[in-house]
Structure formats: C-alpha cells, structure tokens
Structure 1
Amino acid sequence: MKRIFIILFFLLTVLAGCKKWLDVNSDPDTPQNPDAASVFPTQLAGIPRGTQYDARYIGRYIQNWNSDLSTRAADVNFDRMGYTGASDANGDIWRQTYFGLGQNLRYIITVGRDKGQWDYVGAAYALMAFMFQSCTDHHGEIIFTEAFKENTAIFKFDGQDTVYNGVRVWCDSALFYLNRTDLNPANNKLSRGDYALGGSNQKWIKFVNGILARNYNHLSNKTIYDPAKVIAYCNASLASIDDDFMIPFDATKNDDTNFFGPYRNNLTFFRQSNFIVQLLDGTILAGDTSVYENRDPRIRHMLSTSNDTTNGNGGYRGVDPGAGDPNASGTANARKRVAVPWGDSIYENPSANVFTPNGGKYLFRDKVVSPVMTYSEIQFIKAEAAYRMADYTTALAAYTEGIKAHFAFINNSKMPRNNNVLYNGSTISNTQRDIYLNSPNVKRTAADLTMADIMLQKYIALWGWGFTETWVDMRRFYYGVIPDPRNGLPVYKGFVLPATLSSQNLGLLVCRARPRYNSEYVWNQDELARIGALEINYHTKPMWFMVP
C-alpha cells in the first residue's frame, strides 16, 4: 500500500509539472507569442519575394525584358503572353498574400491592439492593403471575404469590386491607427522593426495615400472614375524621393540577397527588350537616334551595352518577345549580342553563388533596394488624372516633376541600410538632365502634351521594379488599342506585340495570371469552375478594372 501511495504521489507531481516541462513559451529561444517588433521585419522582406519572383513572367508580358533564346519553350511561351500549366509559375504574389504575409500581419494587428502598439497595427493594415491590391491586380477575382476563414479547405472567390472596396477599408484603418499618438510607452515603437521607412508614421501615412491613389486611378475606364480624388490622394502621398518606399538587402546569405542580383542568378536568360532600349535611345520619344542629345542619360545606368557600339546609340540592343537574340555566340555577329542585366559587354553571369555586393548594375545587384513605391510614380499618376480632367497645365507640371524625380531616384546616394546606389560611376549631372528635358523626348507645353508622353515616361520610371503597376497601366489601355482620349493616338507607341501569341490565348491578349496552382487547382476546383478559371484561355479574360 505504501508503495502504491508513493507511485501515485510521483505521478501527481509529474503531472503537476507537465505545464512547466511542455510550456515552450517559457523558453526565450523558441517564443510562441513574439512581439510585433520581431515579426514585422519578416513581413517587409516578404514583399520582394512575391513581386520579384512573378516579375520573371509579367516582365515578359510588359516587355521589361524577354528571353535571349528562341528554343526555351517555357520562356518563349511567356514571351508570347502564355503560361505554364500545372505549375506555380506566376503565383508567388498569391503565395505571399495568403501564406507569407496574411496571417502574420493579422497576428501583428491582434498583438499590437492588445499592447497599444498602434503604429504597428497601422503599418500592418497598410501592408495588408498593399498585398491584396497587388494580388487582385495580378489575378483578378481572388479570395477576400473568406481569406482567413478557419477549418475549411474550400474558399469563395470575390470579384475585384469587392476587393477594391476592402482595400480602401483597410487603408482607412491604417490611417486611423497611424494617426494615433497615444502609444503605450512600455512597448517598442515601429522604429525597432521597420528597416524600410525608419518607423516614420508620416511616411507610412503617405504610403497608404499612395495605395489609395493607385486604387482609384485604376478605375480610369469606369464611370465611377474620379480624377480629382486621385489627385487629392497623390497630393497627400509621397512628397519627395526621401519618402520613396524601398526594401533593402544585406546580402550576407541567400535569403537576404536581392533576387535579381548576380549571386542568386535568376536572370540568366533574361535580356532587356527592344522596347525599353528604344524608349531610352531616342527612337520612340524623339524619333531620331542620330542626335546624341536625344539619347536619355539614364540609359547608361539602367541598361547594358554590347561589345559592338557601331549601331548609332552607343551599342544598346534589345530582344523582341519570342524571337530571342539574333546574334548568336560563335558567329560573326557575336559582338552584337545583348548583354546580361548585370553589366556592360558581359554575356554570362560574372559571379553566380559568389557574393559581390558592389557587382551588377542598377536594380540588379546583390545589395541593392527593391522599390515598392516612389515619388516619381505618384507624380505620373497625378499627371494622368489631371490630363483626364483636361487640366493640362497641372498634368504638364506633374509629368515634368515625375521625370526629374526619376533622375533623382537614380542619383540618390541615401539608400537604407547602406545599400548600393543605382548610378554607375557617377551621377547624372543637372546639365545632362536639363539637356534631356529640352530635347524632343520631352514635351514642354501643355498644348503638346499627350497621354503617351505621360505613360511612356512612367514606364521608364517603373522599369525593373514596378511590374504589376505597369501591367495594370498596359491593360487599362489594352496594350495600346485604347487610344489617347485627347487626340486618338496610340498610348503605347513603339510597343510591338509578339509576332505569334501563345496557342493557349486563342488569339487574345493576356489580361491576368491564373490562380496559384498548388493551392487552388488542387483543392478549390469547384470555385475555379464557377469563375471560369478551368478554361484554357482564362488568362485572357478582361479584368474588372479594364471594362466600363
């Protein structure tokens, strides 16, 4: 009996102590309820993961770049506005929206409310709005009202009108919390976890207004479009390049190195397009490459030149979609090949799997920022809105400021976390900039300004980073089919559609990315059937924001 008592006493003691043995929250090395300050940096890092991964595909649709080979079937298919079936290709914005950021941002909001960390709550709402805006602009109908529904594997898709309204609601919540000044002084402030905007509530407020400016400007084809509201949000948004929202990289290991840099080697088969070359060398905007002053001084910082510089524009060449580089290695024209994005006269990656923080070029370096929103972009949004309301004087001023702001963006020497500058060798001088501003590339009177001037300069300013926003712009004008409302001229002049569209398109142009394969086509097929996403050419279905 005594033995039984001892055994029972031992068991009760052990059971009473189980909570201590099993409570991992008591282990500071494995916290289960981390503070918002420790979670927030991972959310910032997740933004480039989505946009840069999918840029490999939509970058071809908008011809930021194309494949250098005409024999790589998958690459050529995207060049021709197709897609890869039974694959997650072009599904990383989706992944980041729901898996990478979604629940983590909700966690920050919950914890932040409990602790009075209103700045974290506001910033988390801002990132939620940004990611869902990007996701719906990428895919069209997405899961929104049931996005975080628990205990189910089937989720309802919502129309873009619902998502657009929901993004605005989240923006309102973001502004409400970011404007609160009654922070709990016992808790860490946003500056501890925010390595992009330095914890500045005012910069986050400007960013939120920028999201709203994008949101409302995307409605330009609809009767509810209000250009005055767009301009108001632009005026409340980024006020200078000091407000630019850029995610920096430390480049100490694979996961904190720029996806576009030479170390990670993700752009091996990508080459700058003829479209961007001709926008910068004077062909499209000035109509003449024979005059040196017509060459945009930004070209030497953004693009790569070939060994052979005898083509009249300094050796800058590009490729057309689906055609590959016509100047093959080992032929008499090999010196005319289009160089890789990482440097002039280079045809192979100079440092794959080797950290070279100072190597590369422009936004294609290991340790360089990935922009999220810039002052230049906001000015071009303002210019378009003013142009649509026939206030051509305001449109001209914003258009001119947008160009100057992009020059300043390239010249900026104050990158967060000591990231590399975007210029190569030296900055663009004010004299060089002003010569360009007074060249035929740039309109100087309100009477001469066209929508093409605005949208093509915006394309240049967003090249290499603003892929989703540029794709929205091109689809709003249906790649140039919808003309300038003022003069009836093509907006994307010089943009040449692929000579052959993918057989998947059935003769139509791409308008959306299909939902992510491994989360939707595997588990949610009934909903996909309801919205038509099982059709071979679902990706050509016009987006809600495209139609009146």
Structure 2
Amino acid sequence: MKNSKYILLALLVVLGATSCKKFLDVNNDPNNPNNESVLVENRLPWIEHFYQYTSGVSNFRSSCIAGVYYSNSAAGNALSTTWTTHTGNTTPYQTWFVEVASNLNDLYKTAQKNGAYHYMATANVFHALGFMQMLDIYGEMPYTQAISGIASPAFDDGKAIYKGCMAKLDEAIALFGKTQEATAVPLSKGDLWNNGDLNKWIKLCYGLKARYMLKLSKKSDLYNGDSVLYYVARGPQSNAENTIGPGYNNSTVTDYLLGDPVVTNGNFDYAAYGSNQRISQYHYNLLTNMRGSGVTDPRMTKIVPAAMSNIQLDGSGKVISYTWNRSAGVDMHGAATRLLKGGAASIVAPSYATANTNITYAISDATDRANFIAAQTTAGRPFTTSGNNVTVTYRAGSIYINSTNYLYAGDTVYVNLRSSSIATSGIPAQGQTDVSWYPSVPAFTAGAVASTGSFQIRPVSDQEILTYHEMCFIKAEAYMRKGDAGSAHTAYKAGIQAHLDMMQAKLTQWQGSGYTATNPDMAPMSGTAITAYMASNAVVQTAGALTMADIMLQKYVAMGCSIENWNDMRRFNFSAGNIGGFGVVYPGFDRTPLFAGTALYTGGSKADPRYWPRRFMLPTTLELNYNLANVLALNANATAPNIWSMPVWWDCATDDEYYGYLKK
C-alpha cells in the first residue's frame, strides 16, 4: 500500500474557493499550507465528501453483484453478469486509503490538541465506516498499521478489524457526550452531514453498531438479537434523524484522483455518470410484482428510468409531442435471451436522430427477420425489405440505436440509468436544475430526454449513510429470528412506510426546486397510490403470513444502491435456503446463464459457500505488487483465483471455519 498521507491537504487549497458550502474553505494560510495548519472544520467536510465517494463505488459494484443493476462496463459486467470478476479492484481500496483514511489520524490529533472532542469522535466514526467497508469487500487488510506511516504494513484478520471498528464507535459515543473546550470550534462549523447535531451523530453510532452486530447472524456464539434491538432503539427513530450526505449540481470542479465531479452524490459518480448501467429484471420484478401480487410499487417510476419515445418535432426542430418509454429490466438472472444472443456486455446506448436516418439490417434467420419486421410495424416505423435486408427509417427526433446489428435495434427498451451534472453533461446550456440525460447537444436543444435517471443515483440525490428505514428492517429481522412475528410485522410495515416517506420528502423538495420542469420522475408520488400499495397484497397484511423473504426483499428495494444488500445476501447464502429454517430468502437469484467464473466460484451447489461471490481479490496494483509478503503471511490463498468465493470473517459460522480458509 502506497503512503499518500497529504494528498487531501493539497486538494483543500485547490477546491476551497469553489466548494458547495461556505465552510468548505482553505486553511488559514492558503499560500503555505502544511498539515499542522489545516483547521478541523476545513478537514472534516472533505472527509465526509470523500467518504461518500469511496462509498459510492463500493455501493455500485456490490449492487452489481447483488443483482440490483446490470452493467456493460468491464468491471460492472464481470460482477453483474459473467461473474468473471475484474482483476483491478483498486478503486474502493484506493479512494478509501488515499482520500479518507490518510486524514483520520491528523483530524483526531489536531482536534485532541484543541479540545474539540466532537471532531475527534467524527474521526472514529469514519474509521469504523471505512474499515468495516473494507472488511466487507476484501476480508483481510492492513488495519493496526494501516495509517501509521509504515510503508509495508502488516495485515490483520477480519475479526481484529471488526472488533477495532466497534471499539471506535464506543469511543465516538463517549466523545460526542463530552462538552468541548470553550475555545474549540463547534462541530456545526465543519459538518456537512448533520450540521453539528450531536443527537444525530450519536444515533448514527448506535445505528451502525446495530448494522454491524447483525452481520454476526451466522455466529451462534456471538449473535445476540437483544443486543441488536438495544442498539436499534438508540439509533434513528424517524426520518428526521437520518444521516445523509448531500449531493449538489452547482460546481464543475472535478476530483484530483479520478476526475469525477466533486460536489455530486457519490453513487451518481459510479452508477449514473456514464451510459453503462440499467435496472435488472430481478430488481424490476420486485417493484412490479412483489410477492407475486401483480401490484406496481409507487416507487417504481421514481427508481426505474424512462426515455421519450414516439417523438414529434415542430418546424424548428423542437419536441412537441412524445410518450414515455419506461425501461424494461435486463434479464441476466433469468432466461437472458437478449444477452445470450448478443453477448453479456452487448446492450447499446442510444443516439439521437437529427434528421430522418436509414439503417439497413442483414437478418439471415427467417424467424428473426419476421419478428423484427413485426416490431417495426408495431412501432409505426417505415421500412423496406430486400432479400435478407430490412431498411428502417428512424424519423428525425427519434432516440434509436445507431448500429446495423438487428439484435441491438430494440435496446431502447433498456433505458440507461444515466443522469447529468453541469460537470459531466458536455452541454454548457444545460442548467443546474435539469439533471436528465440527453445523448447529444442537438437532443438537448430539441428537448429529447434519453433518461430521467433513478432516485438514489442522481447528482442531487442524498447519499444515505444510515436511515430510519434500515433500522426498521433490522428490527424486523431481529424479531423474526426471536420468533416474535407480531413485532417483526410491525417493524416491517414501518420500514416500508419510512422509505416511502423519505422518498416523498425528497421528491417534494425537488419539485419545489424546479427539477420537475424537465423531469416528471422527480415529482412526488401519488398519496393515494402509496396508501393503496400499503394495503395491497404486495405488503404482508398479517403477522402470521410474514416470512423472512418478505422482510429482506422489501429491505432490498429500500436499500437499493447499497453494499448492505450484498452483505445481507451473503448472510442468507443468497438463494440456498439453508439458513435458520427461513427458506429461500432471495428466490430466483442464481448464477446467470452467462456465468463464466468456474475458476473463481468453485462450489458445486448452492449450499456450498464457495458457489457464491463472497469478497473481492485485493488490488493487484497495490497490495499484491507492493506488499505481497504481508498479504500471504496472513492469508496463504489471497492470490488464488477462487479467493472471490472465500467468506470473510463475519460470513463464517465459526472462527475455525474462517481460519481454515486462510490456510493452504
């Protein structure tokens, strides 16, 4: 691991003048900065921001594994579709250590010197957030020596990392409870997340302890449902107590490390910056057919993007009429017919027709040709045929696929999740309150929207650090494990309602800020639809009918772009159905028909832990090149291809099982 301790210090100087909050400013001597002179109130907001950044990539890539998203990018597709993995795996690791962890000791020490106990506490919170995230992803890593300045730090096992993170939260709770020295700067001066609200920070700590204790659900000697409930009761008790990281669209400044926008939601920077990601069929089905009810969730049109279709232009080339094409889900976990025909990463992004555009498709298969012609007839597009060739005219204003491969022509049904920010759109005239995606400047000029984006991953979306709805679902699971179905049912329904309410509040805020002028998916849901959904068969109405699958699938929808879905799926062994008598918790989730990871996932059946994706291999360009001796000293199998299916510490029922995996 390379020692990049002071990179963020330089960034403070570069970005201070253009940041999204007035207190995101440079230190007291911008011409001669040094590590001692960076004020805690200037360091903390950048740590908060860059944690959102490292969390964003972790959330996105784990959501590909968990089947939330399909991706045709190299890394994303290897995790979502082929399960062949991406050998680099550098970004979560690099962004954490370079942009966040390298600053925590300095924040803590400077705050300690000034009696700023609340800033010391925040350093501990980020320590727990980030190192637990690294444990979730990589298993073993430098921990005790990780940010000590040692060039080749020793590795720690998952148990040591877990215990260390929990201890940091305990210390943070104590520090938040102390009165700062009179000369110490108030936390409100440097806090982007909670505006200095100590109550919310303390509830964040307790909520994280509940989340982390739930990870131990496989461990009969360590899991304690009463303890989980104790910490849930001290975590957020309403949406007003959520901890969120704000996202903005008011700056064109980009990150020094990877060049992504600085002020936007971290999930956007990975899941919706480019045109590679789409909603999976698995996710889509939960939003349209939860529990086989056939009921459409009112959240569906806010999560599943839409694009304009059947566009008509006026004489000046402006859109005057259209219909909305709501995206289909990409079926990579089911039959995967489209992907099997075209290739795992073959779904194509659309273009905009500035004039009538003819494309000729050579279709030798008679059945495919007949089906293709029928599709053009249904769509009302002009076409001609000549032998095996079909020439289709895409009228001016069409959003279409610019390829002669007929297999791709229908890919407009898969609307990508892309949103735009002023730092990324490439369209100078696109304002701050228009975050829809347009495939070109002419499309924007015409007003032809190619994607409305998705609720959680727009540049102006809140990044959910810890929420009341997560606490409700944790509570429901803990009660279900205790056999108290009545209390579990109450918490389950509260979790669904809390997520609906949280979304509705944000949608209402967006409407008031003018975003809905160009994007109806950013408008509030129908109150009547929400009430009807809560009373429908999509939601379990009696405690006696509630199953663990009901709880976890609603949690899956609510958490969305979050590493916690992958964490939960590992705890229940995905769809193996062999945990605690709860049956299959994630029905229909399995290896995809395009699975090609036989060397990585060596388990022969669903019940075998090594059938499933359990962790990432360590970054080759960092630890495996620069610190291999320490890597192998702890985990002799760290470089083996099937490291990807090796459970991390909390994913093992016993320590013997875990340490057995680390030996040759």
Task: Give the aligned residue type for 1:480.
Answer: S
1:39 shift after superposition = 0.5
1:317 aligns with 2:324: no
1:519 aligns with 2:523: no
Q: State the match for 2:462 in structure 1.
A: 369
Contact 1:411–1:423 (8 Å) recurs in 2: no
Q: Tell me the distance in 2 between the aligned counterparts of 1:233 and 1:61.
A: 29
364-373 vs 131-140, which moves further: 364-373
The CA RMSD measured in Å over matched residues stands at 3.0
Q: State the match for 1:534 in structure 2.
A: 639
1:420 shift after superposition = 7.0
Q: How does 1:2-41 map to 2 (within 5 A)?
A: 27=29, 29-32=31-34, 33-41=37-45
1:350 shift after superposition = 10
Q: Tell me the distance in 1 between the aligned counterparts of 2:496 and 2:232.
A: 16
1:443 shift after superposition = 0.7
Identity across matched positions, percent: 24
Q: State the match for 1:244 in structure 2.
A: 242
1:302 aligns with 2:303: yes
1:43 aligns with 2:43: no
Contact 2:137–2:615 (8 Å) recurs in 1: yes
Contact 1:327–1:336 (8 Å) recurs in 2: no
1:199 aligns with 2:196: yes
1:55 shift after superposition = 3.7
Q: State the match for 1:473 in structure 2.
A: 568
Q: State the match for 2:63 in structure 1.
A: 59
Q: Tell me the distance in 2 between the aligned counterparts of 1:475 and 1:92.
A: 22
Q: Tell me the distance in 2 between the aligned counterparts of 1:61 and 1:104.
A: 30
What's the TM-score once normalised by structure 2's chain length? 0.70
Contact 2:70–2:280 (8 Å) recurs in 1: yes
Q: Tell me the distance in 2 between the aligned counterparts of 1:62 and 1:186.
A: 48
Q: Pick closer, same or farther for the CA change 1:180–1:377 going to 2, 3 Å.
A: same
Q: State the match for 2:83 in structure 1.
A: 81
Q: State the match for 2:584 in structure 1.
A: 490
Instruction: Find 2:157's aligned residue among 153, 156, 159.
Output: 159
Q: Tell me the distance in 2 between the aligned counterparts of 1:376 and 1:472.
A: 17
State how many pairs are aligned: 499
Q: Tell me the distance in 2 between the aligned counterparts of 1:276 and 1:496.
A: 14
1:337 aligns with 2:413: yes
Instruction: Find 1:505's aligned residue among 585, 589, 600.
Output: 600
Task: Give the aligned residue type for 1:49.
Answer: Y
Q: How does 1:144-155 map to 2 (within 5 A)?
A: 144-150=143-149, 152-155=150-153
1:44 shift after superposition = 0.4
Contact 2:70–2:278 (8 Å) recurs in 1: yes
1:271 aligns with 2:278: yes
1:30 shift after superposition = 2.7
Structure 1 unpaired stretches of 5+: 1-24
Q: Tell me the distance in 1 between the aligned counterparts of 2:514 and 2:469.
A: 20
1:280 aligns with 2:287: yes
Contact 2:215–2:650 (8 Å) recurs in 1: yes
Instruction: Compare the two structures and name the one with the higher strand fraction.
Output: 2
Instruction: Find 2:182's aligned residue among 182, 185, 206.
Output: 185
Q: Tell me the distance in 2 between the aligned counterparts of 1:84 and 1:423.
A: 36
SS at structure 2 position matched to 1:286: helix
Instruction: Find 1:173's aligned residue among 171, 174, 184.
Output: 171
1:357 aligns with 2:432: yes
Q: Tell me the distance in 2 between the aligned counterparts of 1:55 and 1:217.
A: 19
Instruction: Find 2:502's aligned residue among 409, 412, 425.
Output: 409
Q: Pick closer, same or farther for the CA change 1:267–1:165 going to 2, 3 Å.
A: same
1:96 shift after superposition = 3.4
Residues 268-305 of structure 1: CA deviation (Å, up to 9, x unaligned): 111110011000011xx23143xxxx110100111124
Q: Tell me the distance in 1 between the aligned counterparts of 2:235 and 2:199.
A: 10
What's the TM-score once normalised by structure 1's chain length? 0.84
1:259 shift after superposition = 4.8
Q: Tell me the distance in 2 between the aligned counterparts of 1:394 and 1:121.
A: 37
Q: Tell me the distance in 1 between the aligned counterparts of 2:78 and 2:30.
A: 50
Q: Tell me the distance in 2 between the aligned counterparts of 1:472 and 1:155.
A: 27
Contact 2:142–2:155 (8 Å) recurs in 1: yes
Structure 2 unpaired stretches of 5+: 1-26, 253-260, 311-323, 349-400, 437-452, 603-610, 654-664
SS at structure 2 position matched to 1:534: coil
